[in-house]
Amino acid sequence: MDFKQAKRNRKFDTWFMILLLFSLCAGLNFLVSRIDLQADLTPGSRHTLKRETLALLDQMESPADIIITIRDDNSLPKVTQKLLHDLSLLLDSFEKSASAKKINVHRIDVNSISSSSEVIDRYKITEANLIVVASPRGDKKIIFRHEDLDGSNPFDPNEVFRSRDSLARESLWESGLYGDWQESPSGIPEPKVFRGEEVITRAILEVSGKPQAKKVAYFTRGHGESSPADVNAEKGYSELRRLLEDRNLQVSDIDLSVSESVPKDAKLLIIAGPKATFLDKEVSLIRNYLNQNDGNLLISLDPVEALAVVDRPAFGLRPLLKEWGLRCHDMLVYDPEKKNFDYFSGDYSLKTYSTEKPHRIVRTLHEGRLSVQAERCRPVEVDPEHDPGLNPVSLIYSSRSSWAVSGWANRKSPPDKNPLLDVDGPIPVASVSSYSAAGKGDGQIRSSGKIAVVGCSKIFSNKRLRSNTGNQFLAQNLIYWIKSSYDMLDIRPKPVESYHVSMNSQSFEDLLYSLSIVPGAIALMGIFVGWLRKEL
């Protein structure tokens, strides 16, 4: 036997097998690259578009382009890099979705000569650090703008120093792409939920959906109500204004005492924590708006302490509420088991209770066991003698140990329960009403309007909407319900996953050594096996 020839043949066979394996791997990679399939194996399919989102995308009437002009590199602030990472898989899902019209994603460097001139010329986008949703019909909306600043001047005594990362966080907060911001142990605000799917879906429908006239949410004024322009944490309603504008509603105010009617472009009328009684004329205008214009009304009323100021129950709105099957008593909810809840003030938690089928407005709260944070509350209950064509429903309640105190302004603190005048808990604090589908089929002309009443104005204050997820869900779902955007009621923000590793230099070195054990052992084993084969 020619051993040299046999050795050459074995080398040839070895190299031939290596070539075949390389060809197989290259062929499989090419084949897989031609198959456009994705499988979301994450818990709860976090990177898959919700069915509610897909239903909304079926309303598109023209294609949409999502344009990102932020250059992804390590020089960006960490929060901006986090945004780009969270958006990457989400945008792929939008691009591959079975929407009514095509959704295209473009990542463009406007400062590069080789950038896509077609998209830039079509939408006249020349600014870097933007995320834009646009439509070929000419509409476009900027959903995020990253101000690439080096921070404010630390030597300017008239300006508070702001770091580059702090300014980036502010831009991210204003965009609404993240929510439920909470302060971390290091004192830095961190988001807990990612709202990118909701924000992008809303922007796509705005630029590619059916063109429609802009509707307005009017806040009443003239009775000491909270203002949508007020940024004060305790009494301001600027956060609710943002929620309304994010849902394609303009925001304005109106003085009903000098108006002849509620404007025709009004989609919603909001009475936010009044301090004085409404005139009969004003109540009449609201009634006509609800019944004749299919209007919608959102009311938040606080308990009344000085009855001399408010000379009629529920600020003069009681007859109107009764027509819609609701009662709002001038009482105060008191809970003797709440140790930190003073009789006259303090924080208080409201929640839903198990029912056969919770109302869709609070279904998310019920399933997530989320509470709504409030302060002093008054009862808002369903009138048992309401019109059979109405569908009034109570949404959230005080605890089972609480009760509603009548004439509370003249009672001692803490009060003793009066079995004849006080009402046992749980006390309904928020209720809604509308005419049911069955009620509209009785041959009478029925309104298609809706009314929602909340017994504490602080539920929608800036402080509560910024700090509590339950309050945010309640506010946004009420808006969706009023707008009849039922598909959006179940789109929940996705939790943000963040991991932090803290270690000293010694721990870091120990980690490196431990990670090198397995590959080092394999390398030594390979050397030993090679030596044995050579010896044999």
State how far the alpha carbon of 264 is from the alpha carbons of 41, 214, 259, 289, in Å. Answer: 49, 11, 13, 9
CB neighbour list of residue 421: distance below 8 Å, 6 or more residues apart? 406, 407
Q: What is the DSSP string of 428-484?
A: EEEEEEEB-TTGGGSSS-----EEEEES-GGGGSHHHHHH-HHHHHHHHHHHHHHTT
What does the alpha-carbon distance between residue 417 and residue 236 come to, in Å, rounded to a whole number?
34
pLDDT of residue 486: 54
Per-residue pLDDT of the chain (536 residues; tens, 9 = 90+): 455 566 666 777 777 788 888 888 888 887 777 666 666 556 555 667 777 788 778 888 888 899 888 887 777 888 888 888 888 888 888 888 888 888 888 888 877 655 556 777 788 887 888 888 988 887 788 888 876 655 545 445 455 556 777 778 877 777 778 877 777 777 777 787 788 888 888 888 878 877 666 689 999 999 999 999 888 888 899 999 988 887 778 899 999 999 999 998 899 999 999 999 999 999 999 999 999 888 999 999 998 875 545 567 889 999 999 999 999 888 889 888 876 555 556 788 898 886 667 888 888 788 778 889 999 899 999 999 888 889 999 999 998 888 898 888 777 777 888 888 888 889 999 999 998 765 554 545 566 889 999 999 999 999 898 888 889 889 988 988 888 765 555 555 666 655 555 667 777 777 777 777 888 888 888 787 777 766 65
Cβ burial of 337 (10 Å; 0-12, 13-18, 19+) is exposed
* Residue 291 in tokens: 């019944």
Q: Specify whether the backbone of 203 is left (phi greater than 0), alpha (psi in -120 to 50) or beta.
A: alpha
pLDDT of residue 94: 87
Q: Where are the domains of the chain?
A: 51-197, 213-494
Torsion angle defined by CA atoms of residues 160, 165, 168 and 173, in that order, rounded to the nearest 10 degrees:
-80
CB neighbour list of residue 207: distance below 8 Å, 6 or more residues apart? 64, 133, 134, 135, 137, 139, 140, 141
Bridge partners (DSSP) of residue 131 are: 68, 144
Cα–Cα nearest to 64, from 248, 245, 206:
206
pLDDT of residue 535: 60
- Whose tokens are 């030597």? That residue is 155
What does the alpha-carbon distance between residue 50 and residue 136 come to, in Å, rounded to a whole number?
26
* Residue 495 in tokens: 């939790």
pLDDT of residue 149: 57
Domain 213-494 = CATH 3.40.50: yes
Cα–Cα nearest to 271, from 223, 309, 318:
223
